[in-house]
């Protein structure tokens, strides 16, 4: 099971945030929901906090799609090959100096490596990692690794899931269980729909990969799809090698999609009565078709399993977009009136 | 660019050396244009033992010394080279990491030939090739022979006795070197390139393995006169071999019956090991650790050949394809360099206890078939051991795609086609779009710095470039589950990948525990 989402440092922070508001609600006897007259502060605090969390949660989406579309600011940092090569050559010389004992401490080495990267104009792209070398080997190992300025999407995902869950609870504290208008009910309903599908997504992401991995023990979905295509090509080639009349009959039979290998075998038996020289090619074809059917059913099953993992997103994402729009209207109207 | 005066001085010095004195006019010009002169102050270690370098060096002045540190930790001086001597041919030919550390004992000036230039001279200049091969036979051969399991452990003197009997052979792709069932009379060491081994199993030919540079076969032939080849060995690419005829080896060692007996015993053990018995041969005599054995299993299963692999933790991967989409998004041609299809390592078979899939992006092979196939110096290994394509030198001949056993290299469209596709939207209006088209883009030729500058570019070979020039590796950076990570093969067996995606070295893991 993939428990990394639960082990993230953002998970306890989100829990603390929710517990903080819940504790305050109990201590101050502030009821959840629309109690503007008596607990305006609590209402506003939960509202703004929920809005802030929603913005944080949306940042993940923004970062993901900005990168996919090539709009992410990191792309502007790209450096040319000549600069990389220049830095690489100088780092190579630095390693020689390290081996000669010119730079005895990791700190000095790191600062020198960073200076080289800066001078070659690649410091925004690469950074130096210095570690002690293995016994009997080089005194220090200098590795050049990407800077990854915005952090990996996986970390943003931790933020998204942790604060997205917290958002659900804050929304409940803000709106209560009985909103007094249709708009309120809509916001609450949509909010909890997004929350529930998100929780479902977290659960599926936690257990799904193992489930799928067990299911596709022999062939991954990528391999199975590639294998199916390859078998299709082989089948076409095998058909081409048959005499034209027999190939025509086989094609018409395949067009009718025989349900079992027996159907194909029967037909091949019948055809081979009239054309014994075609027997080996027909047997090859039968074997290919049988294998193709097995792989096709495997691909179908794997696709079904994968669709199960992704189906929740088909509702989570559009509903979340509608929710964001309505929240914007809600905030604007509160601000104005 | 070198000035005319400097060139003249350089020519005077270089062409006075026997190695270059008989070069053709064309090769002399190429040498003058592309040779690099490097100066090293005394005491500089400029090649580390185990470092990947494919450059060929000629000492113009000063003294270069070679130090080799053995597994036991003992360091010895192998030799010292003065002006006119050269080195680096073993790495340049066999793509192998350096066997020793090179140090400038005094202030040195070296002429450096890049792999493309060296390969050109070695392939087409007969006199250059003869001298380099003769030098290799005299200086490096004895050391290189130690990689043959049968000969490992022989003293340098004993290995030197075998030098005269060694025969160099070059074969093109598809040549049958040994045929199953025929008499085995030679021990063969692969210097460069690679072979496939097929065996007849239940009446049909089955692929049994690959032998890349530094692999050897035929040791069993040492056992007697009636030994047969156990399989058929066929070259997968242009391949250089070193052949030791058994009869000549026996003759060379005729005065040493003890040695003959020792080698016969060892050949028996090798044959037993090959048939699956555990003889303790490697443990006792080569101190081969279990990690190496596991790595060897991976090599044989084509999972990995060295360098770093891109591993997907299948218990985290939700198969969303974000990694491939990210790969597409960072390459202008829209061709993904990553294929998630790869070899699986079950949780039981690795130290991490995780179901892993090693993707076929680029294994940065120990012996890169692509590099051996490239005649244009467009593929090289950088100082970190990564295989890089030198865009300017690639002419799109597609030879590297044939040389790669893992099908990770793809050809992009020719530059002209790209230009057509990437025109402004006005150019794409039917019928009248041509009115808005700019001047026709000329057919690209290889940049001036490349050796083959006259060659017309037909396309470009691409493979995983680790998002060169960008501050991230797109697939690793964009995986929402943190399931994909660059991992050294040793970590798969002896290390750990943290939840944040970074790999922990074994020592650090122990300390953390």
Interface ipTM: 0.80
The DSSP letter of residue B441 is P
CB contacts, 8 Å: B45 with chain A = 96, 99-100
Contact A122, A116 (CB under 8 A): no
Task: List the beta strands (DSSP E) in B15-156.
Answer: 36-40, 45-47, 56-61, 64-69, 75-81, 86-87, 101-104, 108-113
The CA-atom distances, in angstroms, between A253 and each of A249, A264, A267, B204 are 6, 8, 9, 32
Chain A with chain B: Cβ pairs closer than 8 A: 134
Q: Which B positions 398-417 lie with beta carbon below 8 A of chain A?
A: none
* CA dihedral for B255, B258, B261, B267, sign (positive or negative): negative
**Which residue bears the tokens 């019956």?**
B257
Q: Which A positions 153-172 lie with beta carbon below 8 A of chain B?
A: 153-157
CB contacts, 8 Å: B322 with chain A = 153
Q: How confident is the model at residue A55 (pLDDT cuts 50, 70, 90)?
A: very high
User: How far is residue B384's CA from residue B121's CA, in Å, rounded to a whole number?
Assistant: 27
State which H helix or E strand residue A247 sits in.
Answer: helix A244-255
The CA-atom distances, in angstroms, between B397 and each of B62, B363, B442 are 41, 22, 19
Question: For testing the chain B interface, which of A75, A153, A155 should be mutated: the one with the most B CBs within 10 Å?
Answer: A153
| CATH architecture assigned to B159-287 | Sandwich (2.60)
| pLDDT score, position A13 | 94
Measured CA angle at A119 (ends A114, A120), to 5 deg: 100
Q: How confident is the model at residue A217 (pLDDT cuts 50, 70, 90)?
A: low
Greatest Cα pair distance, chain A, in angstroms, is 95
The CA-atom distances, in angstroms, between A7 and each of A12, A155, A159, B419, B500 are 9, 11, 12, 48, 10
**Nearest alpha carbon to residue B243 among B181, B171, B299, B341:** B171
CB-based contact (8 Å) between A303 and chain B?
A: no
| pLDDT score, position B202 | 61
User: What are residue A130's DSSP bridge partners?
Assistant: A142
State which H helix or E strand residue B210 sits in.
Answer: strand B204-212
| pLDDT score, position B499 | 39
Question: For testing the chain A interface, which of B42, B50, B103, B319 should be mutated: the one with the most A CBs within 10 Å?
Answer: B319
Contact B299, B212 (CB under 8 A): no
Distance from CA of B145 to the nearest CA of A (A): 25
The CA-atom distances, in angstroms, between B369 and each of B18, B364, B372 are 32, 10, 5
Contact A139, A102 (CB under 8 A): no
Can you read off the two tokens belonging to residue A14?
Answer: 């989100």
Q: Which B positions 231-270 lie with beta carbon below 8 A of chain A?
A: none
Whether B4-145 shares its CATH topology with B300-410+458-512 is answered no
Task: Return the residue of A nearest to B323 by Cα.
Answer: A68
User: How far is residue A291's CA from residue A294's CA, in Å, rounded to a whole number?
Assistant: 5
The CA-atom distances, in angstroms, between A165 and each of A65, A254, B42, B85 are 21, 52, 64, 71
The CA-atom distances, in angstroms, between B22 and each of B93, B128, B131 are 21, 8, 11
* CA dihedral for B200, B202, B205, B207, sign (positive or negative): negative
CB contacts, 8 Å: A82 with chain B = none
**DSSP annotation string for B459-505:** -EEE---TTTTSSS-HHHHH-TT--EEEE-HHHHHH-EE-TTS-EE-
Sketch the domain layout of chain B as residue ranges: 4-145, 159-287, 300-410+458-512
CB contacts, 8 Å: B473 with chain A = 146
Q: How confident is the model at residue A160 (pLDDT cuts 50, 70, 90)?
A: very high
Secondary structure of B293-311 as H, E, C letters: HHHHHHHHCCCCCCCCEEE
| pLDDT score, position B153 | 66
Contact A239, A247 (CB under 8 A): yes
Contact B501, A152 (CB under 8 A): yes
State which H helix or E strand residue B430 sits in.
Answer: none
Inter-chain touch A154–B501, beta carbons under 8 Å: yes
CB contacts, 8 Å: B73 with chain A = 136
| pLDDT score, position B274 | 59
Distance from CA of A301 to the nearest CA of B (A): 14
User: How far is residue B79's CA from residue A216's CA, in Å, rounded to a whole number?
Assistant: 56
Distance from CA of B397 to the nearest CA of A (A): 22
Question: Quick count: other Cβ atoms within 10 Å of Cβ B364?
Answer: 23
pLDDT tens digits for A219-237? Answer: 667 667 777 887 888 888 8
CB contacts, 8 Å: B318 with chain A = 204-205, 208-209, 309
Inter-chain touch B482–A213, beta carbons under 8 Å: no
Of B45, B470, B482, the CB nearest to A4: B482
Distance from CA of B475 to the nearest CA of A (A): 10
User: How far is residue B137's CA from residue B160's CA, in Å, rounded to a whole number?
Assistant: 9
CB contacts, 8 Å: A136 with chain B = 69, 73
Inter-chain touch A100–B43, beta carbons under 8 Å: yes
Inter-chain touch B329–A77, beta carbons under 8 Å: no
Sketch the domain layout of chain A as residue ranges: 78-146, 179-337
Can you read off the two tokens belonging to residue B164?
Answer: 């005269």
- Domain spanning B4-145 has what CATH number? 2.60.120.10
CB-based contact (8 Å) between A67 and chain B?
A: yes
CB contacts, 8 Å: A63 with chain B = none
Contact B137, B144 (CB under 8 A): no
Distance from CA of B225 to the nearest CA of A (A): 42
Q: Which B positions 69-98 lie with beta carbon below 8 A of chain A?
A: 69, 73
CB-based contact (8 Å) between B486 and chain A?
A: no
Task: Return the residue of A nearest to B73 by Cα.
Answer: A136
Inter-chain touch A210–B315, beta carbons under 8 Å: yes
- Domain spanning B300-410+458-512 has what CATH number? 3.30.70.20
The CA-atom distances, in angstroms, between B433 and each of A84, B271, B414 are 39, 71, 22
CB-based contact (8 Å) between A107 and chain B?
A: no
**Nearest alpha carbon to residue A310 among A213, A209, A228:** A209
**Nearest alpha carbon to residue A98 among A140, A136, A129, A130:** A140
Q: What is the CA radius of gyration of chain A?
A: 31
Task: Return the residue of B nearest to A126 by Cα.
Answer: B471
Task: Return the residue of A nearest to B103 by Cα.
Answer: A96
User: How far is residue B9's CA from residue B21's CA, in Å, rounded to a whole number?
Assistant: 15
Give this prediction's pTM. 0.59
| Top-confidence residue, A23 or B194 | A23
The CA-atom distances, in angstroms, between B258 and each of A149, B220, B267 are 65, 18, 14
Residues 6 or more apart in contact with residue B344 via CB below 8 angstroms: A220, B314, B355, B356, B357, B358
CB-based contact (8 Å) between B386 and chain A?
A: no
Residue ranges, chain B, pLDDT below 50: 1, 276, 278-306, 415-422, 438-457, 495-513
User: How far is residue B186's CA from residue A3's CA, in Å, rounded to a whole number?
Assistant: 57
CB contacts, 8 Å: A144 with chain B = 384
Task: Return the residue of B nearest to A309 by Cα.
Answer: B318
Distance from CA of A78 to the nearest CA of B (A): 5
CB-based contact (8 Å) between A124 and chain B?
A: yes
Inter-chain touch A147–B471, beta carbons under 8 Å: yes
Q: Which B positions 148-187 lie with beta carbon below 8 A of chain A?
A: none
Q: Which B positions 280-339 lie with beta carbon below 8 A of chain A?
A: 314-320, 322, 325-326, 329-330, 339
């Amino acid at each position: 099971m993939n428990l990394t989402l639960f082990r993230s440092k953002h998970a306890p922070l989100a829990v603390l945030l929710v517990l903080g508001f819940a504790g305050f609600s109990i201590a101050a006897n502030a009821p959840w929901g629309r109690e503007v007259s008596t607990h305006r502060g609590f209402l506003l605090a939960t509202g703004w906090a929920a809005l802030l969390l929603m913005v944080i949660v949306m940042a993940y989406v923004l970062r993901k799609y900005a990168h996919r579309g090539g709009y992410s600011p990191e792309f502007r940092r790209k450096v040319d090959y000549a600069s990389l090569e220049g830095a690489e050559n100088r780092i190579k010389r630095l390693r020689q100096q390290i081996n000669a004992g010119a730079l005895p401490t990791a700190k000095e080495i790191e600062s020198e490596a960073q200076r080289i990267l800066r001078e070659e104009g690649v410091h925004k792209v690469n950074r130096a990692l210095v570690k002690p070398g293995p016994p009997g080997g080089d005194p220090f190992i200098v590795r050049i690794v990407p800077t990854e300025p915005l952090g990996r999407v996986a970390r943003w995902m931790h933020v998204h899931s942790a604060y997205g869950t917290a958002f659900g609870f804050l929304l409940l504290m803000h709106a209560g269980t009985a909103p007094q208008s249709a708009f309120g009910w809509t916001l609450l309903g949509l909010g909890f729909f997004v929350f529930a599908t998100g929780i479902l997504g977290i659960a599926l992401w936690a257990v799904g990969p193992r489930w799928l991995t067990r299911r596709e023990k022999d062939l991954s979905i990528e391999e199975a799809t590639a294998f199916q295509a390859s078998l299709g090509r082989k089948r076409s080639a095998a058909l081409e090698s048959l005499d034209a009349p027999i190939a025509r009959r086989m094609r018409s039979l395949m067009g009718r999609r025989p349900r079992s290998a027996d159907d194909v075998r029967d037909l091949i038996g019948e055809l081979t009565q009239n054309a014994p020289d075609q027997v080996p090619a027909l047997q090859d074809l039968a074997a290919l078709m049988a294998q193709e059917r097995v792989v096709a059913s495997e691909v179908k099953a794997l696709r079904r399993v994968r669709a199960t993992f992704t189906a929740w997103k088909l509702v989570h994402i559009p509903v979340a977009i509608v929710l964001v729009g309505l929240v914007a209207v809600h905030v604007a109207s509160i601000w104005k009136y | 660019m070198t000035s005319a005066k400097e060139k003249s001085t350089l020519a005077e010095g270089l062409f006075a050396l026997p190695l270059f004195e008989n070069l053709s006019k064309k090769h002399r010009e190429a040498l003058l244009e592309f040779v690099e002169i490097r100066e090293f102050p005394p005491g500089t270690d400029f090649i580390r033992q185990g470092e990947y370098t494919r450059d060929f060096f000629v000492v113009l002045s000063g003294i270069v010394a070679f130090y080799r540190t053995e597994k036991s930790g003992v360091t010895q001086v192998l030799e010292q080279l003065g002006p006119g001597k050269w080195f680096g041919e073993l790495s340049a030919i066999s793509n192998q990491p350096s066997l020793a550390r090179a140090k400038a004992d005094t202030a040195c000036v070296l002429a450096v030939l890049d792999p493309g230039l060296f390969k050109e001279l070695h392939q087409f200049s007969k006199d250059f090739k003869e001298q380099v091969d003769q030098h290799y036979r005299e200086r490096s051969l004895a050391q290189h022979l130690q990689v043959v399991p049968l000969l490992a452990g022989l003293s340098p003197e004993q290995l030197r006795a075998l030098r005269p009997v060694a025969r160099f052979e070059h074969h093109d792709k598809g040549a049958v070197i040994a045929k199953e069932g025929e008499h085995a009379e030679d021990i063969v060491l692969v210097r460069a390139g690679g072979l496939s081994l097929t065996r007849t199993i239940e009446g049909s030919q089955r692929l049994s393995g690959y032998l890349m540079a530094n692999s050897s076969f035929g040791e069993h032939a040492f056992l007697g006169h009636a030994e047969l080849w156990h399989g058929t060995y066929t070259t997968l690419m242009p391949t250089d071999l070193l052949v030791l005829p058994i009869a000549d080896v026996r003759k060379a060692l005729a005065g040493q019956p003890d040695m003959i007996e020792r080698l016969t015993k060892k050949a028996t053990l090798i044959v037993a090991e090959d048939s699956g018995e555990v003889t303790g041969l490697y443990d006792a005599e080569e101190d081969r650790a279990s990690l190496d054995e596991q790595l060897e299993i991976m090599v044989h299963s084509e999972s990995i050949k060295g360098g770093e692999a891109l591993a997907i933790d299948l218990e985290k991967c939700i198969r969303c394809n974000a990694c491939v989409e990210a790969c597409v998004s960072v390459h202008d041609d829209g061709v993904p360099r990553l294929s998630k299809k790869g070899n699986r390592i079950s949780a039981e078979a690795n130290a991490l206890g995780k179901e892993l899939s090693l993707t076929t992006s680029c294994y940065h092979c120990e012996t890169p078939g692509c590099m051996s196939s490239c005649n244009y110096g467009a593929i090289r290994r950088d100082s970190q051991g990564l295989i890089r394509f030198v865009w300017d030198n690639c002419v799109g001949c597609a030879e590297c795609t044939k040389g790669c056993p893992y099908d990770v290299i793809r050809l992009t469209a020719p530059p002209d086609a790209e230009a057509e596709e990437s025109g402004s939207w006005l150019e794409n209006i039917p019928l009248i779009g041509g009115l808005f088209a700019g001047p026709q883009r000329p057919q690209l030729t290889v940049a001036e710095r490349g050796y083959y500058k006259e060659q017309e570019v037909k396309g470009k070979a691409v493979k995983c470039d680790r998002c060169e020039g960008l501050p991230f590796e797109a697939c690793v950076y964009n995986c929402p589950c943190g399931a994909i990570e660059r991992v050294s093969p040793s970590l798969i067996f002896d290390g750990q990948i943290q939840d944040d995606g970074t790999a922990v070295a074994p020592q650090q893991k122990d300390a953390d525990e």
